[in-house]
Structure 1
Amino acid sequence: MAALLVAGFVGLFSETALNIALGDLSQIFGVNATTVQWLATGYFLTLGILVPVSGILMQKFTTRQMFIASVVLLLGGTIIAALAPVFSVLLIGRIIQAAGLAINLPLTQNVIFTIFPPNKRGAAMGVMGLVMLAGPALGPTIAGLILDTLSWEWIFWVTTPFLLFSLIFGIVYLPNVNEIRKVSIDALSVILSTIGFGGVVYGVSMAGESGWTSATVMGSIIIGLLAIVLFAVRQMKMENPMLNLRAFRYPLFVLGVFMSFITFFNMLSMLVILPMYMQMALLMAAFATGLVLLPGSLLNCILAPFIGRFFDKYGPRAIITPGTILVAIGYVLYAQFGTATPVWLIVVTFIIMMLGVGAVLASVQTNTLNSLPKRLYPDGIAITQTIQQVAGAIGIAVMVSLMAARQGSLLATTSAAPAEAAASGSSLVFTVSLIFAIINVVLSLFLKKPSATIN
């Protein structure tokens, strides 16, 4: 688990760490803002394409083969990016990194659900939840410190010792725990999956630059959705599908998928919008922004394993419902923020928010997968991980577009200052997120512990 989780942390850290350096990289490599944004878009796009395929890969290859492939890709991509002489090489390094993470995340969950009994999975998933939150949350803070003291390459070099540890530790200690089956990879399913999920993620990622009415954006999303429908129809007709969608026959799994979508839609967009608000409305420096978010991130890291144990002891509703309520309270406070909001209130609100997200994130995933029989674990994990990546990409695109539209409208029609327009835009975004958060509170009331006989 140590080998898997360290590699996962590095991959998720890399997902957000480079975002804070995009402005600097745009100048260093002489590319415009639209082009440099591909360092983030390409990462999401790769995850959206490869994660759906992971379900069948985990049935075809051994745990060790999958693990070594994931860490070698992460390490290789990191080194390529650190040494990149031109922008195109840096982008290739990022895509290779994302390919490694696309294997690591489903594999880690599959190992947890294979080696831990149902009454201990909450604690194990709590530790994974720590990694899933700590990586993206700490990325901007550490990257900001590196940019203030060293060059951008060190955002990559600083992670290489951890990946080397993970690789060596895993080669020595990681056994094969998954069941290998004679499965064939259906080429048409892979093509439809790639076009479908890739098209949706690409379309929504480009919407921020091109606008939602752009022919490219609309075309990508429509083609992507049609491909997903064709992919789903094909999977249901196949005797051995690439992704077994029969997991959706289990009501608790469907409920969990909806809650996961909302959680990741809100969380990943919040981790983008909140720093934008602090830098544009409060005129804070990038590193100071990271420091404001640090207490909430660290507290969540400390409490995540305990939340998992409470889940094992008291069941899903006792942990997840209070968590969704804390998230909703956080958004109520965020929606009130303006140009004169004190820093201490932002720190406190982020702590409340991260406590809520920490209680919801891993616990919902654990309960969702516990509702499936063991043979459907690889498929269930691939489905939930794909939903999370797509939700994150859509969340960031939609919320950034909403914020920009509100800002642009105020600046064009009123005498509002840029800081006031940014504050108003972020307030609108957080109000929309609050609506989704309230839906999650209601959905959590229908959760229950899956029957033990299902496993």
Structure 2
Amino acid sequence: MEENYVPTKLSLSVVASCLVSFCGLITETATNIAFPAVMKTFSVSTGTVQWLTTGNLLVVAMITPLSAFLQRRFKLRHLLLFATLCFIIGTVMAAVSPNFAILLLARLVQGVGTGVGVPIAFCIILEQIPFGKVGTYMGYGALVSAAAPALGPTYGGIVNQTLGWRFIFMILIPVLLFTLILGLCTIEENRQPEKVPVDMPGIILIMLTFLCLVYGFANIGSFGAQPLGEIVVFVVGIAALLLFAKHCAKCEHPLIDVAIFRNIPFVCHLIAFFLINAIMLGISFLLPNYLQVTLLCASMMAGLMLLPGAGLNALMGPLSGAALDKIGAKLTILVGTGLMTIGTALFALFGMRLNTEMIIGFYILFGVGCGIAFGNTMTIGNTMTIGNLRLPVQQKAYGNTCFNTLMQFAGVTSTSICAALVSAAQGRNNGLGCEIRTVVGSTQGFIFLLVLAVICLILQIVGFRVYEDR
């Protein structure tokens, strides 16, 4: 038991790094629900205000792939300091922004802080927490990463309706100051920084990849109007990704060691993790929209209706992580993914006639499944390797980078496709009212997410089967 002992100081360092992640991730969905108020304040269109989320996700997606390099090159304490200061500066700018341009700039600065800060918690857990406690602590990390976006609509709806949208940012400032002090006092280094050369070609290629792919997905709704432009953006992004993979295979100090992708179980769980994130954030986009537009609920009421499911999503992270440590990964992950798939299927099946009671009930089932599957999938993906249960420290850094990068990319991919489906249905001139057209578009979104859920479940099963066969 002594070998699994976790010092209080180490636990507090995990708390500090998780708080940075929480602040960064909760604003991604909390800001969305305040869009109408921001549009009214600054007299901007829906297409313009969307850039508060798209721009932020774009920066995060471009910064996160650099995390393995940053964690080798700099001390974790210095990275946390930089990430928290960036987020504090961006948050203050957002809270007092006199115009939309400053607000957008603030969200971009916050994106830098989120991109640097989110991987730190998982880095500390994977490198410093005893192996027998990794599942539990990854559950705590999952509590933050899964619960923050899920709680965002509730938090944003209540604050926006009672205090105004600027307080969505103001309330976070004392939390960030506390986080900064706690992190500087508790984070310890278990290795010295390395003088790793900067892989500038790799940085340019990976940034170009996510710049194009994020921009392409964010504007997928305009594909019908500008198909050629969208195709060009996607082609350039995919080409840059292929060149990046080729470059990393030959580079002495790559941003990501592509050899890790030869591990089939790792790849299966990595893609499954991406799909879990995409499904969670897709549902988090569709349900508030459905409640407010179709069922005519106020933003605060819509947020409160989603609170039980979001709360259970958060609670299941550490509980299921402890279960993984005691009974193993396969049962917990397959049960969680199965519940998530059933919940998504219920939304798709009853999408045309959902009421508030059904939404609350289905979302609770869905949230429990996501809470069980989310963190445990990341844990097993970062620790499973053929012939040796524990990945080497450096491989864990690369694995952590991959998981965190896809976690950010999943958000813009899923929400953009769901938004495009809803927008396309709303734009059809078929004689139906706006509410009915929103129902049709939302149901199409639920069906799309159900397809992703089924693929996710298959990948989880294949990942475990390949591992057991070998």
**How far apart in 2 are the matches of 1:212 and 1:355?**
40
1:441 counterpart = 2:454? no
1:228 counterpart = 2:230? no
**How far apart in 2 are the matches of 1:151 and 1:253?**
44
For 1:89, the equivalent position in structure 2 comes to 102
AA partner of residue 84 (structure 1): S
1:167 counterpart = 2:196? no
Match of 1:255 among 256, 268, 278: 268
For 2:4, the equivalent position in structure 1 comes to none
Deviation sequence 1:306-342 (CA, Å, 0-9, x none): 1110011111111111111111111121013356533
SS in 2 for 1:97: helix
CA apart distance, 1:78: 0.5
TM-score in terms of structure 1 length: 0.94
For 2:408, the equivalent position in structure 1 comes to 389
Aligned CA RMSD, in angstroms, stands at: 1.8
Match of 1:367 among 380, 383, 392: 380
Judged with a 3 Å threshold, the aligned counterparts in structure 2 of structure 1 residues 58 and 114 are, in CA distance, closer, same or farther, namely same
- Assess if the C-alpha contact under 8 Å between 1:339 and 1:419 holds in 2: no
- Assess if the C-alpha contact under 8 Å between 2:351 and 2:446 holds in 1: no
For 1:346, the equivalent position in structure 2 comes to 359
- Assess if the C-alpha contact under 8 Å between 1:292 and 1:347 holds in 2: yes
1:70 counterpart = 2:70? no
- Assess if the C-alpha contact under 8 Å between 1:367 and 1:449 holds in 2: no
Judged with a 3 Å threshold, the aligned counterparts in structure 2 of structure 1 residues 210 and 450 are, in CA distance, closer, same or farther, namely closer
- Assess if the C-alpha contact under 8 Å between 2:295 and 2:355 holds in 1: no
1:24 counterpart = 2:37? yes
AA partner of residue 357 (structure 1): C
Deviation sequence 1:348-374 (CA, Å, 0-9, x none): 100000111111110000000102322
Judged with a 3 Å threshold, the aligned counterparts in structure 2 of structure 1 residues 44 and 212 are, in CA distance, closer, same or farther, namely farther
Match of 1:324 among 315, 337, 354: 337
Q: Which runs of 5+ in 2 are unaligned?
A: 1-13, 385-390
For 1:420, the equivalent position in structure 2 comes to 436
For 2:427, the equivalent position in structure 1 comes to 408
Judged with a 3 Å threshold, the aligned counterparts in structure 2 of structure 1 residues 448 and 180 are, in CA distance, closer, same or farther, namely farther
For 1:60, the equivalent position in structure 2 comes to 73
- Assess if the C-alpha contact under 8 Å between 2:248 and 2:257 holds in 1: yes
Judged with a 3 Å threshold, the aligned counterparts in structure 2 of structure 1 residues 41 and 26 are, in CA distance, closer, same or farther, namely same
TM-score in terms of structure 2 length: 0.91
For 2:121, the equivalent position in structure 1 comes to 108
Describe how 1:284-299 pairs up with structure 2 within 5 A: 284-299=297-312
For 1:184, the equivalent position in structure 2 comes to 197
- Assess if the C-alpha contact under 8 Å between 1:320 and 1:363 holds in 2: yes
Deviation sequence 1:47-76 (CA, Å, 0-9, x none): 111111111111100111111111111111
Q: Structure 1 residues 333-342 or 360-369, which shifts more?
A: 333-342
What percentage of residue pairs aligned between the two structures are identical? 32
Q: Which runs of 5+ in 1 are unaligned?
A: none
CA apart distance, 1:182: 2.3
Match of 2:323 among 310, 326, 342: 310
Q: Structure 1 residues 196-205 or 277-286, which shifts more?
A: 277-286
**How far apart in 2 are the matches of 1:172 and 1:373?**
28
**How far apart in 2 are the matches of 1:247 and 1:176?**
25
CA apart distance, 1:379: 1.4
**How far apart in 2 are the matches of 1:128 and 1:76?**
24
**How far apart in 1 are the matches of 2:271 and 2:192?**
29
AA partner of residue 456 (structure 2): N
CA apart distance, 1:135: 1.2
- Assess if the C-alpha contact under 8 Å between 1:367 and 1:450 holds in 2: no
Judged with a 3 Å threshold, the aligned counterparts in structure 2 of structure 1 residues 38 and 166 are, in CA distance, closer, same or farther, namely same
- Assess if the C-alpha contact under 8 Å between 2:282 and 2:449 holds in 1: no
